[in-house]
Amino acid sequence: MADILLVDDDQNLCQLLSEYLRGQGYAVRCAANGRAGLRELFERKPDLVVLDVTMPQVDGWETLKRLREVSDLPVIMLTARDDEADVLRGFSLGADDYVCKPFSFAQLAARIKAVLARSRGGSSTEELRAGDLVVDLAARRVRRGEAVLNLTPTEFNLLVALMKRPGQVLTSEELVRAVWGPQYASEIGFVRRYIWHLRQKIEPDPEHPRYIHNERGFGYRFQVVEG
Amino acid sequence: MSANQMIVQRMLRFKWPGRLSDANFSLKLMQWLLPLVLFLTATVYEVIEHGIKRTEPFTLSLTAEIVFFGIGGPVAVAIIFGYLRMLVASETAARQSLERLNRELEVKVAERTALLAERNAELSRANQQLQQIDALKSEFVSLVSHELRAPLTALNGGLELALQAADTLPPPARRILEAMASESRRLTQLVQNILDVSRLEAGRLTLNLGPVAVAPILHRSVEVVLGDRRPVLWQMPAQIPPIWADETYYEQIIRNLLRNADKYSPAGAPVEIKVAVAPDGIGVEVVDHGPGITPEVQAVMFERFTRGQTGENAPPGWGLGLYFARKLTEAQGGRIAVRSPARPTPTAPGAAFTVTFPPAAEEPEEVEDG
C-alpha cells in the first residue's frame, strides 16, 4: 500500500487527514515543518508527499525546491492561495498537483489516487490524452503542451464526452445527453455554438481543426489529425 | 485689441530720437514752439509789410496787427495744444491705471492658481492615502480569509471523517454533526465570498468566460436552494440561446437571488422565475412574494453590508450577497436591476430582481472539414 508523507504545521489537520487517509488504506506519516519533512523524506522514502505551502521556517516552496534537487517523488501542494500566479509557480517548481484550502478530504484522496496512478506509469483512468491535449479528470484541468487551457465546466464536459469516444461520431443529441442530461433537448440547436467556442480555446488553429471535426448532418468526431 | 489700438501701439513702438519719443513732451514742445514761431513770423512779416507801405500812422497799425496776428493767433494755438495735452495726460493716466489693475489681477490669478495647485496636491495626497488604506484593507481581508481557510479545512474534514460512519452514530449525535457540517459549509462559502470580493476589488479575480446554458443552471439552482420547500412558477421560452458568462459565478448569482427570494418570502409562497430573450441579452427575473423593498433601500442595496431588514426579526445574512452579485455581474458585462413593488398586491408587493447577460457570440456558417 502506498506510503504518504504529510507535511503541514497544522497539527489538527494532520491528525484528521492521516486518520482519513488511513481509512482509505494508505500508510501516513506526518511532519510539522519543512525541515522535519525533508528529514522524514530521506529516512522513509514515501511514495507521495502532500506539502502545505504556508509553514514557518522552511515554507512549502522552499521544501519543494530542495526536495526536487534530490528526488522526483510526486508532490501535491496544499495551498490557501489559489491565485493563478501561485499555482503557476507551484508547477514551475515541479509540483504534480495542487489542492486549495478549504478542500474536502474526499477531493484530496481523489487527487492522491490520480497522481499515484500517473507516477506509476500505468494508464490512469483519471487522465485522457490525445496529441498535445492532456485532460486531468480528477482536477478537471486541461493542458495543451505546456499551456493550461481555461475551459468552463460545460466546455470541459463537452470535450471529455468527445474524447472518451475517439474516432466515433457523436450526434448533437448524444452530446446534450452527456453534458446536460436528456431533459435538455432544447440545447440541441445550440451544440454547434458550444463546439465553435470550444474550438476557439483548444484548437491551435480553429479554422483548420486538429481535434474536433464536423460530420455534416451526423455530428462531431474527436480525432487527432497530425500536421 | 482693436485695429486703432494696434496702430497706436505700433506708433508708440517707433523709436523717436531722445525725449521726442515721449508724446507728452513733444506736445509741450509744440505748445510753446509753434506760437513762438507764429509770433516771430507775424511780427517779421508785419514789420516788413509796414516798412514797405510806409502808411501813417505806422506805429499804431503795426502794433495793432502784431497784437492781433502775432499774439492772438499763437495764444489760441497754445490753448488748443494745452487742451490736447490735458486729454493725452488723462488718457495716459487711464491706461496706466488699467495696466496696474491688470498687473494686480495677474498677481491675484497667480496666487489663486498656486493655492488651487496646493489644494489639488493635498487632495491627491489624501486620495493616495485612501487608496493605500483601501489596499491595506483588501490585503487584510485577503490575509484573514486565508488564515480562516486553514482551520476551516480541518473543521470540514473532521466533520466529513466523523460522518463517514454516520450509520453507526447515535441519532442525536448524527443530527448535531450534520447541522455542524451544514453551518461549516456556510461559513466556508462566506469566507470564499469575502475573498472573491476582495480579489474582485483588487482586480485579481480571474473570470473563466464561455457559453453557458441558462435552463440547466436555473433548474439546478432551484433544486439546491429551494428543494421542495417552495413552489416555483416558471415562465421560460422553449429555446434560450447560451449566454456569455463565467458559469460558476453565474450560478452563484442565480443562487444568491433565489436564496434572497426564499429568505424574504412567507412560508409556502411561490417564487416566480421568468426568462426573457432579447437580442442584446438574456434576462432572468426572480420574483418573490415578500414585503417589497422601499425606494430608499433600493438605492443602496447593491452596496456593501447593506440589508433590506435589520434588527432581531431580520433574516440571517451579511449584506454581501447583492453587492457581490452586482460586482460579479458587471465584471462579466452583464447588468442587474431591481423592481419593487413587483405586483399591485399591497399585502405582498414583492421584489423582482433581473440579471441580464449578453448572448454568446454566434458561430459563423459551418464549413465541411472532416
pLDDT of A19 over the 90 cut: yes
Q: Mean pLDDT lowest for which of A134-138, B6-10, B50-54, B77-81?
A: B6-10
Chain A residues within an 8 Å CB radius of B248? 153
Chain B residues within an 8 Å CB radius of A101? 149-150, 152-153
Please state, in angstroms and rounded to a whole number, the distance separating the CA atoms of residues A149 and A151: 6
Each residue of A78-120: pLDDT tens digit? 887 666 667 777 778 888 888 888 888 988 998 898 888 888 7
Query: Which of B62, B66, B65 has its CA nearest to residue B51?
Result: B62
Chain A residues within an 8 Å CB radius of B149? 80, 101-102
Say if B311 is an interface residue toward chain A (CB within 8 Å).
Answer: no
**Whole-prediction pTM:** 0.67
Each residue of A22-73: pLDDT tens digit? 999 999 999 988 888 989 888 888 999 999 988 877 888 888 988 888 888 8
Closest CA–CA distance from residue B358 to any residue of chain A (Å):
15
Q: Do A16 and B157 touch (CB under 8 A)?
A: yes
Segment B232-255 shows an average pLDDT of 93
Q: What percent of chain A has pLDDT over 70?
A: 95
| Predicted local confidence at residue B118, as pLDDT | 95
For A21, the closest chain B residue by CA position comes to B161
The dihedral formed by the CA atoms of A194, A200, A201 and A205, expressed in degrees to the nearest 10: 140
Confidence of residue B370 (pLDDT cuts 50, 70, 90): very low
ipTM for the complex? 0.76
Find residues 107-146 of chain A whose CB sits inside 8 Å of chain B: none
| Predicted local confidence at residue B111, as pLDDT | 95
For chain B, the residue count is 370
Please state, in angstroms and rounded to a whole number, the distance separating the CA atoms of residues A177 and B194: 36
Say if B165 is an interface residue toward chain A (CB within 8 Å).
Answer: no
Q: Do A80 and B146 touch (CB under 8 A)?
A: yes
β-strands B271-278, B232-235 pairing: parallel
Selecting from B157, B209, B211 the residue whose C-beta is nearest the C-beta of A194 gives B211
Sheet of strand A147-149, all strands in order from the earlier edge strand to the far edge: A127-130, A133-136, A141-144, A147-149
φ/ψ (deg, to 5) at A4 = -115, 135
All 3 cell numbers of residue B154? 480541518
For B363, the closest chain A residue by CA position comes to A193
Contacts of B73 (CB under 8 A, 6+ apart): B35, B38, B42
Selecting from A105, A214, A223 the residue whose C-beta is nearest the C-beta of B157 gives A105
CA B283 vs. chain centroid, Å, equals 29
For A177, the closest chain B residue by CA position comes to B216
Q: Is the separation of the CB atoms in B14 and B78 below 8 Å?
A: no
Q: Do B215 and A186 touch (CB under 8 A)?
A: yes
Each residue of B126-158: pLDDT tens digit? 999 998 988 888 778 777 777 788 888 999 999
Q: Is the separation of the CB atoms in B364 and B275 below 8 Å?
A: no
For chain A, the residue count is 227
Alpha-carbon torsion A205, A210, A216, A218, what sign? negative
Q: What percent of chain B has pLDDT over 90?
A: 35
Q: Do A102 and B360 touch (CB under 8 A)?
A: no
All 3 cell numbers of residue B167? 450509520
Residue to mutate among A8, A12, A55, with most B CBs inside 10 A, is: A12
Integer angstrom CA distances of residue A138 from A113, B130, B219? 9, 44, 25
Say if A218 is an interface residue toward chain B (CB within 8 Å).
Answer: no
Query: Which of A111, A132, A124 has its CA nearest to residue A224?
Result: A132
